[in-house]
Structure 1
Amino acid sequence: MDGLRSIDVPSCWEEIEQDYEGVAFYGTRFKTPEQWKDRTVQLQFDAVNAIAKVWLNGYAVGQHEGGYGPFEFRVHTD
């Protein structure tokens, strides 16, 4: 992808580009603690404006549509 920029999370895209209306991608890398192996954990989001398509390690986790309300997905760790 061309034109990648860093943004703190949690945050909102408008802090980078005021009045932006369109698609934005957020990504991060993290390691899970060893004690999480073979457990179900929750990925929690405080808010996303419009549509969120969530992927984890190359796998689609789910999709959420709505305004600024919180939502979560349950995922199983390997």
Structure 2
Amino acid sequence: MDGRSGVTHPDTRGTIHLEDAEVLSQQRFAGNQFILRVKAPACAASAVPGSFAHLTCDDAIPMRRPLSIMRANPEQGWL
């Protein structure tokens, strides 16, 4: 259940995808804010705004960084 809207997402609740993603673009804004677009078709198929993707960039650093999903395009496979 989405805490703000009360909407249930039964098709995506508890879904975990492990996927290698390609960075498609990165935009920087004031205040060290960024928009990162990645090609990740399996994740994009079930991603909803407000959910999180946990990213790792280097095997030497095992801790994943949670990033909030703002937008996803399942047809084109990006988020």
TM-score by length of 2: 0.30
Greater percentage in strand: 1
Larger-Rg structure: 1
How high is the TM-score relative to the length of structure 1?
A: 0.30
